[in-house]
Chains A and B, each alone.
Chain A
Amino acid sequence: EDQVTQSPEALRLQEGESSSLNCSYTVSGLRGLFWYRQDPGKGPEFLFTLYSAGEEKEKERLKATLTKKESFLHITAPKPEDSATYLCAVPISGGGADGLTFGKGTHLIIQP
């Protein structure tokens, strides 16, 4: 059975304090790993797709990396507006469709 586990569940940082969020996955035949950001009362907002081990993607203060067993979302010098829940997801294995299995998310708070 596909599994996606995110850690930590919650993280509180000071503005400018860099850190990393972890997403470990167990899936048969990875067809991509997706990172999303979700603000309270909103739907998830797409951030990155990673398809193969060693791949990296960057957007402003965020960088996502992928290995064969996990992905990291690195946040460099975060600002209060980076506060959100960060979700990772993988396509459900076994089939051509791509319904996603999500982790529970990391709730990130950046204090000024």
Chain B
Amino acid sequence: DAGVTQSPTHLIKTRGQQVTLRCSPKSGHDTVSWYQQALGQGPQFIFQYYEEEERQRGNFPDRFSGHQYPNYSSELNVNALLLGDSALYLCASSRDSNQPQHFGDGTRLSIL
């Protein structure tokens, strides 16, 4: 049973560019959340998708947007990249509200 898978594993971009990160949830899960984790910090919640809609959003600017497809997979898009966007981006999936979220191993994004 495959867990949460994310692609790519590593990515290097330059300031001002745009990036798309992808996530496939664990089998049987319908809710996908995205987190940003800076070095030495805990993950910070970006947003959550359920039934193809953004259900909840953390304190992130509109440059961060997402999408969920009918098969529950999801994308995170970041526009106008800044140096401060360098981080590990984690995707998590769950079955219902208040159930444990299961994480992928993330995409390491470096901005030059």
Q: Which residues of A contact B94 (CB under 8 A)?
A: 98
Q: How large is the interface on A (under 10, 10 to 19, 20 to 34, 35 or more residues)?
A: 20 to 34
Given contacts A41-B105, A43-B104, A98-B98, contact A104 B42 (CB under 8 A): yes
Expressed in whole angstroms, the minimum distance between the Cβ of B112 and any Cβ of chain A is: 21
Whether B103 sits at the interface, judged by CB under 8 Å, is yes
> Which residues of A in the span 17-41 have a Cβ within 8 Å of any Cβ on B?
31-32, 34, 36, 41
> Which residues of A in the span 59-112 have a Cβ within 8 Å of any Cβ on B?
87, 89, 91-92, 95-105
Whether B72 sits at the interface, judged by CB under 8 Å, is no
| B90 adjacent to A43 (CB under 8 Å) | yes
Q: Once bound together, how far apart are the Cα atoms of A104 and B98, in whole Å?
A: 21
Contact surface of A with B, Cβ cutoff 8 Å: 4, 31-32, 34, 36, 41-46, 49, 87, 89, 91-92, 95-105
Contact surface of B with A, Cβ cutoff 8 Å: 4, 33, 35, 40-45, 47-48, 50, 55-56, 58, 90, 92, 94, 97-98, 100-106
